[in-house]
Amino acid sequence: MADFSGFALTLVYLERFFANLLLGENNELKSRYLLVGLHDEPESLVPSSREQVGEQVREQVASALPKGVARLLKVLKGEMSVLDMMMALKLGGRRNFLEKYLTPATELSLVEMTQPNSPRSSTQKYRLTPKGLAVKVGGK
What whole-number distance in Å separates Cα of residue 101 and Cα of residue 113? 14
Is 60 exceeded by the pLDDT of residue 50?
A: no
Q: For 13-49, how does the pLDDT look when each residue is reduced to its tens digit (9 = 90+)? A: 677 777 788 877 787 777 665 555 544 444 444 445 5
Domain ranges of the chain: 2-64, 67-139
pLDDT of residue 134: 81
Report domain 67-139's class: mainly alpha
Q: For 79-132, how does the pLDDT look when each residue is reduced to its tens digit (9 = 90+)? A: 999 999 999 999 999 999 999 999 999 998 899 999 999 999 999 999 999 888
What whole-number distance in Å separates Cα of residue 10 and Cα of residue 25? 19
What whole-number distance in Å separates Cα of residue 20 and Cα of residue 36? 19
Its pTM surpasses 0.85? no
pLDDT of residue 7: 46
What whole-number distance in Å separates Cα of residue 60 and Cα of residue 9? 15
What whole-number distance in Å separates Cα of residue 7 and Cα of residue 10? 10
pLDDT of residue 62: 60
What whole-number distance in Å separates Cα of residue 42 and Cα of residue 33? 23
